[in-house]
Structure 1
């Protein structure tokens, strides 16, 4: 009888846990992408498309910001984001939540934006988000489920027109975190392989790669090696690090000249922002 009650209690606790999880989190089988421009909000499955793209760079100059913004959990995040992004043409954010405050900021700003909904917590979409001065010709959502937590991590593939007639491909990635081994980690890194291998122009791959172990860092560099890509090396490296001492955030690039880089310290998130400046040669 005692064993029966123990089993029933265990089943009840498991049921409440699953029920609570389903009450808080919503995960779609097909990823959604939400795009905002000129106060207009549109949500589509998988991909956003724009038939009339304009150039993203300014006469060959491309300034970027890469930042895990910790779901806007700190009160000074939006003023800090406004300040850091004012001279940027492209901003790649991770852990961006489309709550009312952030949505209002986006709609009142000059930015266009594309966000991947990795999941919704209390009906608020969370995932990677691109801010850009010019909307991409295409932006597609990518999801990879965390094996333990069963919540997806997100990636955003986007193509931007450039003044020299080429196309910049950017990948904004928040890598899976809680895994045994690197199989799921590698799968997410390889999910963009087909489109990246065919591209001949400038390439930007950046985000929070959760590269907290030597095996993960090795898998990351092996996956990107085939694209003949370089990594931005920061002179004063204030990037967030795991207890192993390894940085979690990275910027990789190809087909552009790196002209500047820095990692300013900020208390607006649990990660410090990464800034880089590139020069794109005339074709």
Structure 2
């Protein structure tokens, strides 16, 4: 009898936990992408398309900011994001929550944006988000479910017109974190393989790769080796590191000349931002 009531209690606790989880988090069966341009906010399934793209770069220069912004949990995040991004043409954010305050900031700014909704917490979407001075030709959402938490991590594939006639493919990625091995980690990276391998122009692959183990770093480098890609090196290097000493955030690039880098220390997030400046080939 005692065992019976213990089992009943355990099942009841599990049911409450699952019910509470479902009350807080909502996950869409199909990846969604939300585009904000001024007062206009549109949410579409899978991909955004722009029939009249303009060149993203500024006279052959492309300045990039990559930053995990910790769901805007710090009061000074938006003021620092404004400052850090003022001379950038492209900003790749991870853990961006499209709450009222952030949406208001977006609509008052000169940025266009695309966000992939990994999940919604209390009806507020969270995921990777691109800010760009010129909207992409196409931007597509990608999700990979965390096997333990059953909440997805998001990726955003975007194609931007460049002034030299080429197209930049930018991949903004927040990699799965809690896994026993590297199978799901590799699956997420491989999900972009077909479109990346077929592209002959500039590439930018960046974000929070949760590369906290040597095995994850090996998988990451093996996958990216197929794209003949370079990694941005930072000196000094203030990127967030795991207890293993390995950095979690990276910028990889191809088909552009790297001119300047920095990782300024910040208390506006639990990660420090990464900045890189590129020059396009003529």
TM-score band, normalised by the shorter chain? over 0.9
Equivalent positions of 1:69-218 (< 5 A) are: 69-218=69-218
Q: Say whether 1:35 aligns with 2:31.
A: no
Q: Residue 276 of structure 1 corresponds to which residue in structure 2?
A: 276
CA RMSD of aligned residues (A): 0.4
Q: Secondary structure at the match of 1:83?
A: helix
Runs of 5+ consecutive residues of structure 1 not aligned to the other structure? none
* Contact persistence 2:93–2:128 (CA under 8 A): yes
SS in 2 for 1:148: coil
1:193-244 CA-to-partner distances (Å, cap 9, x unmatched) read 0000010100000000000000000100000001000000001000000000
Q: Distance in 2 between matches of 1:158 and 1:134?
A: 12
The alignment partner of 1:82 has SS state of: helix
8 Å CA contact 2:136–2:158 kept in 1: the answer is yes
2:240 matched residue in structure 1: 240
Q: Partner residue of 2:10?
A: 10
- What TM-score, normalized to structure 2? 1.00
Tell me the distance in 2 between the aligned counterparts of 1:270 and 1:2.
46
Separation in structure 1 between the aligned mates of residue 39 and residue 203 of structure 2, nearest angstrom: 29
Structure 1 residues 114-171: Cα deviation after superposition (integer angstroms, max 9, x where no partner) = 0000000000000000000000000000000000000000000000000001000000
SS of residue matched to 1:126 = strand
Measured in 2, the distance between the counterparts of 1:70 and 1:208 equals 11
Q: Aligned equivalents of 1:40 and 1:196: distance in 2?
A: 30
Post-superposition, which runs of at least 4 consecutive aligned residues in structure 1 deviate over 3 A? Answer: none
Q: Distance in 1 between matches of 2:83 and 2:38?
A: 20
For 1:82 and 1:147, locate their aligned partners in 2 and report how far apart those are by CA, in whole Å. 35
The separation in 2 between residues aligned to 1:246 and 1:203, in whole angstroms, is 24
1:249 — aligned with what? 249
For residue 260 of structure 1, give the secondary structure of its aligned residue in structure 2: strand
User: Partner of 2:57: helix, strand, or coil?
Assistant: coil
In structure 1, the partner of 2:62 is: 62
Tell me which residue corresponds to 1:226. 226
Cα distance in 2 for residues equivalent to 1:174 and 1:130: 12
Question: 1:260 is matched with which residue?
Answer: 260
Give distance in 1, aligned partners of 2:24 and 2:80: 29
Structure 2 spans left out of the alignment, 5+ residues? none
Report the CA distance between 1:81 and its aligned residue.
Answer: 0.1
C-alpha separation between the residues in 2 aligned to 1:123 and 1:176?
A: 22
Shift of 1:38: 2.0
User: 2:163 and 2:195 mapped to 1: Cα distance?
Assistant: 22
Give, in whole Å, the separation in 2 of the partners of 1:59 and 1:218.
37
2-side partners of 1:38 and 1:138: how far apart?
18
